[in-house]
């Protein structure tokens, strides 16, 4: 991963963190705040989004982009967790006070000023994920801060309590499918000021805010926390990277984004050097359909025969610019192509900086294209194939994106990808999207109530981490992992029951669980109570620690079985220390020659033999100790 001189680049970064709260009910209706997983929906509703003129007589640019995608929307709901409020047919109920209490705790932990008189606002949502087209949100705290390990304070701009949007299930046949169970679950949004100056600082800040949120009553499952990162460098622009799912992605994503912006700035410089002008970019593409009726390229031929159009455009002096790498495995051509794909629905573009033989375009085809488009050596042509409507849309995108190359980096919201790259998601929303909600009354956070909640604040998680790490002699990372898997409470309970071996409890809750998950086991089937049962058996010497993984594995496969039942099924028996001694004596009697010859070095092979008989029935450490004692005794007798 390439790193940069962040100070010299004027790198600035801010975070926006979303976290679902773990309340019983939703924020503005009385439906249960419970995700339904893969359960089949009870009903579906189809809708379409349409742009309308704003009060200034213009369309919102981001809304037009959404509309141009021409997507339909299908909402899928459940009768028991969705009511007419989520469908925008009923006004909001009063605000959930359980959610407000948790939000107030978080605001205090973030040292924010509490807003005494909250006004519910509407925030426009254009992607269809909220049926009403807006999300209800209220600012609950402002001007807080979170302290990093170094003592540096990252200022918190705003803390809002709002509604979660519906969850997107899939896109099929130009229709986005949204599941409504998630819609309306209380959500906290924490926005920092752009005080973050390096990628590592960004990661730490996200981690600290995350830990802090997870020390309160929030949903502690994968995907309940989401990070957006705002990145800018002085010569570039502000880019919003959405959907950062893992803390570890943050530094890579940021460095790739810096690399992309620097690359785009280099293109801008190169265009100046080549004395090219935005005005020379053509506004209209050429129809090449008739010129390529005899092409060797199978997919173009097939496309044209099925009625598709092949359009081309020539960019004077653009040679090698579409091929310029902006981030790893991502060129300017990729950037244009991504945007075309998203907006027009086409599979992509073809450009002359690419190896055209991969499209089976013969030299003769290329010659014809170049003639028609008047492409010279120093130019670059771009082709698209699709229906008239798709092709027109795609060419619009291409022309506008190429024109922006003269300006530098277009402000965009981009989506984080697993490989550390990002792709265009939508234009950056213009300034204010907040409007007062005429359906809601003012909500008060009275001082008395706030003071009561102040008494319930949990300890700062980084203090907890240090304490635990010291007490149980383990790395801080382990404790962090316990918090981020939502298992710190469970750890507390297990260690109370079984204080002898904290490292075994860590291993069970972290490594063994991860290993089983990697094997494809459904770990969620093992409840806290199951873990408690397993450790009770261990405490009573009914199982050995070697049996823990087998019990967990089978419980993950058969959630309907009790741990006792599984123990019987696995034929897990325990062996008493006395019986173990008898067994060891037996084995020693049969191996006297070995002991005579090898003395203490006989322990290794004998250990193997004993374990063969008692594995899973008693702790290996006990076996080792007993075996060693017996060999020493035997050797004494031999002398």
Q: Which residues bind Zn ion (CB under 5 A)?
A: 29, 31, 83, 85-86
DSSP collapsed to 3 states, 335-393? HHHHHHHHHHCCCCCEECCCCHHHHCCCHHHHHHHHHHHCCCCCCEEEEEEECHHHHHH
Query: By C-beta, is 83 or 443 nearer to Zn ion?
Result: 83
* Beta carbon nearer to Zn ion, 32 or 323: 32
Between 15 and 95, name the residue whose CB sits nearer to Zn ion. 95
Minimum Å gap between C-beta 102 and Zn ion is 19
Nearest residue (CB) to Zn ion, 33 versus 209: 33
Residue closer to Zn ion by CB (options 83, 623) is 83
Question: Nearest approach, Cβ of 301 to Zn ion (angstroms)?
Answer: 54
275 alpha-carbon distance from chain centroid? 43
Report in angstroms how near the CB of residue 132 gets to Zn ion at its nearest.
13
Of residues 29 and 610, the one with the C-beta less far from Zn ion:
29
Q: Which CB atom, from 29 or from 356, has the smaller least distance to Zn ion? A: 29
Residue 127 CB, nearest approach to Zn ion (Å):
21
Which of the 8 DSSP states describes residue 326? E
- Minimum Å gap between C-beta 122 and Zn ion is 17
* Pair 360, 297: CB distance under 8 Å: yes
- The DSSP output letter for 289 is G
Q: Which is nearer to Zn ion, 85 or 484 (CB)?
A: 85
User: Cα separations (Å) of 173 from 88, 301, 345, 361, 582?
Assistant: 25, 24, 11, 30, 71
- Tell me the C-alpha to C-alpha distance, in Å, between residue 289 and each of 223, 285, 344, 439: 47, 12, 19, 55
Whether 13 contacts 194, CB under 8 Å: yes
Nearer to Zn ion by Cβ, of 83 and 185: the residue is 83
Between 183 and 479, name the residue whose CB sits nearer to Zn ion: 183
Phi, psi (deg, nearest 5) at residue 126: -105, -5
Choose among 337, 336, 284: nearest CA to 314.
284
CB 165 within 8 A of CB 126: no
Min dist CB 167 to Zn ion, Å, is 15
Question: In angstroms, what is the minimal distance from the CB of 125 to Zn ion?
Answer: 17
- How many contiguous H segments (helices) and E segments (strands) does the chain have? 22, 23
Cα separation, 27 vs 413, in Å, equals 27
Phi then psi dihedrals of residue 410, to 5 deg: -75, 135
Task: Supply the minimum distance, in Å, between the C-beta of residue 185 and Zn ion.
Answer: 10
- CB nearer to Zn ion: pick between 21 and 356: 21
Nearest approach in angstroms of CB 103 to Zn ion is: 19
Output the smallest distance, CB 163 to Zn ion, in A.
10
**DSSP string covering 203-230:** HHHHHHHHHHHHTSSB--STTSEEEEEE
* CA 149 to chain centroid: 24
CB of 22 to Zn ion, least distance (A): 18
Least Å distance, CB 27 to Zn ion, is 10
When the beta carbons of 36 and 338 are compared against Zn ion, the nearer one is 36
Burial 403-435 (b: 16+ CB within 10 A, else e): eebbeebbebbbbbeeebbbbbbbbbbeeebee
Dig out the tokens for 202 from the structure: 């960004």
In the complex with Zn ion, which residue's Cβ is closer, 83 or 196?
A: 83
Nearer to Zn ion, 94 or 400 (CB): 94
Minimum CB distance to Zn ion smaller for 26 or for 555 = 26
Cα(49)–Cα(73) distance, integer angstroms? 8
The least distance separating Zn ion from the CB of residue 48, rounded to whole angstroms, comes to: 23
Q: At a CB cut-off of 8 Å and minimum separation 6, what does 331 contact?
A: 322, 323, 324, 325, 353
Query: Closest approach of Cβ 28 to Zn ion, in Å?
Result: 8
**Cα four-point dihedral sign 422, 426, 431, 435:** negative
- Convert 160-176 to b/e letters by CB count within 10 Å (16 or more is b): bbbbbbbbeeeeeeeeb
Output the smallest distance, CB 89 to Zn ion, in A: 10
- How many beta carbons lie within 10 A of that of residue 314, not counting itself? 21
Minimum distance between the CB of residue 189 and Zn ion, rounded to whole angstroms? 21
Q: What does the alpha-carbon distance between residue 467 and residue 369 come to, in Å, rounded to a whole number?
A: 70
Name 451's Cβ contacts closer than 8 Å, sequence gap at least 6. none
In this structure, the dihedral spanned by the alpha carbons of residues 81, 85, 87 and 89, taken in order and rounded to 10 degrees, is 140
Nearer to Zn ion, 25 or 545 (CB): 25
Cβ(44)–Cβ(75) below 8 Å:
yes
Instruction: Name the one residue in this structure whose structure tokens are 């002991």.
Output: 595
The radius of gyration computed from the CA coordinates of the chain, to the nearest angstrom, equals: 32
Residue 271: HSE in the Cβ half-sphere, 13 Å Cα cutoff: 25
């Amino acid at each position: 991963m390439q790193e940069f001189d962040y100070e010299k680049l004027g790198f600035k970064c801010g975070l926006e963190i979303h976290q679902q709260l773990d309340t019983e009910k939703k924020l503005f209706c009385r439906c249960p705040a419970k995700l339904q997983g893969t359960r089949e929906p009870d009903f579906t509703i189809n809708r379409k989004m349409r742009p309308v003129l704003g009060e200034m007589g213009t369309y919102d640019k981001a809304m037009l982009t959404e509309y141009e995608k021409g997507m339909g929307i299908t909402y899928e709901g459940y009768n028991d967790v969705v009511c007419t409020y989520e469908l925008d047919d009923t006004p909001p109920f009063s605000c959930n006070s359980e959610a407000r209490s948790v939000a107030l705790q978080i605001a205090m932990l973030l040292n924010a000023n509490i807003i005494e008189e909250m006004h519910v606002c509407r925030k426009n949502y254009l992607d269809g994920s909220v049926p009403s087209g807006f999300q209800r949100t209220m600012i609950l705290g402002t001007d807080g801060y979170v302290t990093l390990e170094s003592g540096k304070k990252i200022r918190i701009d705003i803390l809002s309590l709002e509604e979660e949007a519906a969850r997107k299930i899939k896109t099929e046949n130009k229709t986005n499918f949204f599941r409504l169970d998630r819609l309306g679950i209380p959500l906290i949004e924490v926005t920092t000021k752009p005080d973050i100056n390096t990628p590592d600082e960004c990661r730490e800040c996200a981690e600290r805010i995350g830990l802090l949120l997870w020390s309160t009553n929030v949903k502690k499952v994968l995907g309940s926390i989401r990070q957006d990162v705002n990145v800018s460098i002085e010569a570039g622009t502000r880019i919003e990277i959405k959907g950062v799912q893992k803390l570890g992605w943050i530094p890579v994503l940021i460095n790739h984004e810096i690399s992309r912006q620097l690359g785009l700035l280099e293109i801008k410089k190169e265009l100046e050097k080549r004395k090219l002008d935005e005005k020379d970019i053509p506004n209209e593409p050429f129809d090449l359909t008739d010129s390529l009726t005899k092409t060797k390229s199978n997919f173009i031929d097939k496309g044209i025969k099925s009625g598709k159009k092949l359009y081309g455009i020539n960019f004077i002096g653009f040679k090698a610019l579409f091929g310029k790498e902006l981030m790893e495995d991502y060129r300017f051509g990729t950037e244009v192509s991504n945007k075309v794909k998203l907006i027009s629905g086409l599979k992509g573009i073809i450009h002359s900086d690419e190896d055209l033989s991969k499209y089976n375009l013969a030299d003769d085809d290329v010659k014809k294209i170049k003639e028609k488009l008047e492409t010279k050596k120093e130019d670059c042509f771009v082709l698209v194939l699709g229906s008239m409507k798709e092709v027109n849309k795609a060419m619009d995108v291409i022309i506008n994106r190429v024109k922006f190359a003269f300006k530098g980096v277009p402000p965009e919201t981009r989506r984080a990808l697993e490989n550390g790259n990002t792709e265009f998601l939508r234009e950056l929303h213009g300034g204010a999207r907040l409007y007062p909600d005429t359906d809601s009354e003012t909500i008060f956070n009275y001082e008395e109530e706030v003071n009561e909640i102040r008494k319930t604040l949990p300890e700062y998680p980084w203090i907890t981490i240090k304490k635990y790490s010291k007490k149980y002699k383990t790395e801080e990372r382990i404790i962090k992992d316990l918090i981020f898997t939502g298992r710190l409470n469970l750890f507390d309970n297990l260690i109370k029951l079984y204080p002898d071996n904290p490292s075994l409890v860590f291993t069970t809750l972290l490594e063994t669980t991860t290993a089983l998950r990697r094997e494809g086991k459904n770990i969620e089937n093992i409840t806290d109570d199951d873990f408690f049962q397993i450790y009770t058996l261990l405490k009573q010497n009914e199982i050995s620690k070697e049996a823990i993984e087998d019990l967990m594995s089978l419980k993950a496969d058969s959630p309907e079985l009790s741990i006792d039942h599984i123990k019987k099924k696995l034929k897990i028996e325990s062996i008493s220390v006395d019986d173990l001694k008898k067994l060891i004596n037996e084995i020693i009697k049969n191996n006297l020659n070995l002991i005579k010859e090898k003395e203490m070095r006989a322990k290794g092979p004998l250990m193997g033999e004993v374990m063969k008989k008692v594995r899973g029935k008693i702790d290996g450490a006990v076996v080792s100790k007993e075996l060693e004692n017996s060999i020493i005794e035997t050797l004494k007798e031999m002398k």
